[in-house]
Structures are given as C-alpha cells and as structure tokens.
C-alpha cells in the first residue's frame, strides 16, 4: 500500500517533505553527517600521524587493567565491558523508540531511563580508565608507554587517545543530558499531548550515532 501511495504522489513537487520526515529529523540526519566529518577528520589525523611514526605502542600492553583486579594482565577486558555497556544502551534506546511508536509512555520512560543509566555507566568507566592512565603517568603531552619495538614513543599516542576519546565522551555526555531532558518531557506527558514521540526518535538517532562513532574509536585505538 505504501508503494502505491508513493507512486501516485509526486514527492519532490513541493508541499510535502520528499523524504516523508519533518524538518527536525532531517536536520538531525544532516547534523550527524556533519559531525561524522568532525570525527572523521580527527581519526584521519590520528591515522596520518600514526602511519608516519616509525613505531607505536601496543594497545594490549597499555589497556590491560581492570578495576579491583590489581596487576592482573587482562588486555582489553575493561574496554570490552565499556563497549558492551554502550551497545546495550543502544539496544534500550531502540526499545524506547519502539515503545514511542506505540505511544506507550511508561515503556518509553523505562527504556529511556535504562539508556541514561547505560550512558552514565559508560562515562564512569571512561572516568576510571582516564584516572588509571593518569596515575600511570599518561596525559596530554606525557606518554610513559614504549613503542611495540621497544623504542621511546612520541607523546602523540596519548595526545590522540585523550583528545579523541575525550571528544567522544563529550558527545556521550551531551547525549545523556539530551536523554534526561527528553525523559522529563516524557514523564510530564509532553509527547502524549503532541500526539507523537518523535523527539525520542531524534535523540535516538544521536545516541546511535555516538555509539557508532565509538565503534570506530574503539577499533582505531584498542584493536589496531
């Protein structure tokens, strides 16, 4: 039936949105495209510098601690947990959006709240990791980790790590703030009055984007 409607209607002839979305969602998509370029530029810069460096520290050696586990050698365990948390928060966001389609206020509030919890948990993990690295002597302009071939590494390993994960963390933070604002509106019944839960979809888009970016950040800094 949808196809029949599409064939009949001239979507680009004016008077309608050609993509069948309202302007807010369209703007969000274009904003995400723009933001993808911001992260793209940062990650490509990282790649450029890394490829022009003779050697680079081994992430398995750097990221091997886990809170409460002392000096146990657990490479990438903690960051896997962080990633898992963030991806789970994306799942709860999907459920919140889905509940929004059915205008189920309680379910939206529940899943949105879980998403916020997931976001805060991720940020807390990041705070722990940063603190831990800081105590190991790593910071902007300071890099205690040696290259994988044993030579002294330049500080750009930590420079890029803190800048890009920090920039991503800033995005997660603003995502959490947005989610909280939307949750308050959901609880107040704003979207029931409006007749649709599209705002949840819009912050959902942002949240998934931030997750997607993490996948790239994770790959670039922890796996490669």
Partner 1 sequence: MSNEATLHSQQEVMHGAGAHDHHDHEHHDSFISKYVFSMDHKMIAKQFLITGIIWAIIGAFFSVLFRLQLGYPDATFPWLESILGHWAKGGRITPEAYYALVTMHGTILVFFVLTAGLSGTFSNLLIPLQVGARDMASPFMNCLSYWFFFLASMVMMASLFVQTGPASGGWTMYPPLSALGDASIGSKIGVDLWLTSMALFVVSQLLGGLNYISTILNMRTKGMSMTKMPLTIWSFFFTAVLGVLSFPVLLSGFILLLMDRHAGTSFYLSDIFIAGKALANEGGSAILYQHLFWFLGHPEVYIIILPAMGMVSEVLAISSRKPIFGYLAMIGSLFAICILAFLVWAHHMFVTGLNPFLGAFFVLLTLLIAVPSAIKVFNWITTIWKGNIRFTPASLFSIGFVSTFISGGLTGIWLGNSSIDIHLHDTYFVIAHFHIVMGVSAFFGMFAGIYHWFPKMYGRFMNNTLGYIHFWVTLIGAYLIFWPMHYEGMAGMPRRYFDYSTWASFNQFEGLNQFISFVVILVFATQLLFVFNFFYSIFKGRKMTTQNPWKATSLEWTTPIHAGHGNWPGEIPEVHRWAYDYSKDGRDFIPQTEPLGPNESAH
What residues numbered 184-213 form the site for partner 1, per CB under 8 A?
195-196, 198
Piece of the chain touching partner 1 by CB under 8 A; list 4-12, 66-74, 78-86, 108-116: 4-12
Which one of residues 74, 84, 140, 188 is an interface residue with partner 1 (CB under 8 A)?
Answer: 140
Angle, helices 105-135 vs 198-218, to 10°: value is: 30
**CA torsion through residues 93, 173, 81, 57, sign:** positive
Write the DSSP symbol of residue 147: P
Q: Are 125 and 78 in contact (CB under 8 A)?
A: yes
CA distances from 21 to 16, 18, 80, 208 (A): 9, 8, 36, 18
Kindly state whether residue 3 participates in binding partner 1, applying the rule CB under 8 A.
no
Which one of residues 91, 109, 114, 163 is an interface residue with partner 1 (CB under 8 A)?
Answer: 163
When the beta carbons of 85 and 108 are compared against partner 1, the nearer one is 108
**Please, what is the minimum distance in Å from the beta carbon of residue 87 to partner 1?**
25
When the beta carbons of 26 and 74 are compared against partner 1, the nearer one is 26
Which one of residues 13, 68, 71, 193 is an interface residue with partner 1 (CB under 8 A)?
Answer: 13
Distance CA 178, CA 181 (A): 5
Tokens of 114: 């879980």
Bin 159: left if φ > 0, else alpha if -120 < ψ < 50, else beta: alpha
Q: Which residues bind partner 1 (CB under 8 A)?
A: 1-2, 5, 10, 12-24, 26-27, 30-31, 33-35, 37-42, 45, 48-49, 52-53, 101, 140-142, 154-156, 159-160, 163, 167, 195-196, 198
């Amino acid at each position: 039936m949808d196809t029949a409607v599409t064939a009949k209607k001239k979507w680009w002839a004016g008077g309608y949105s050609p993509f069948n979305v309202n302007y807010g969602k369209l703007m969000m998509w274009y904003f995400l495209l723009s933001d993808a370029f911001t992260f793209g530029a940062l990650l490509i810069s990282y790649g450029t510098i890394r490829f022009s460096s003779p050697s680079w520290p081994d992430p398995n050696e750097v990221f091997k601690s886990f809170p409460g586990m002392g000096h146990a050698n657990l490479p990438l365990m903690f960051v896997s947990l962080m990633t898992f948390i963030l991806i789970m928060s994306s799942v709860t966001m999907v459920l919140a959006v889905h509940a929004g389609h059915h205008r189920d206020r309680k379910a939206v509030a529940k899943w949105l709240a879980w998403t916020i919890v997931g976001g805060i948990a991720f940020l807390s993990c990041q705070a722990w990791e940063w603190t831990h690295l800081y105590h190991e002597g790593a910071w902007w302009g300071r890099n205690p980790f040696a290259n994988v071939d044993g030579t002294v590494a330049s500080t750009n390993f930590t420079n890029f790590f803190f800048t890009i994960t920090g920039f991503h963390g800033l995005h997660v933070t603003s995502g959490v703030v947005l989610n909280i604002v939307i949750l308050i509106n959901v609880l107040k019944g704003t979207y029931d009055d409006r007749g649709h839960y599209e705002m949840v979809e819009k912050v959902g888009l942002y949240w998934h984007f931030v997750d997607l970016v993490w996948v790239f950040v994770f790959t670039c800094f922890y796996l490669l």
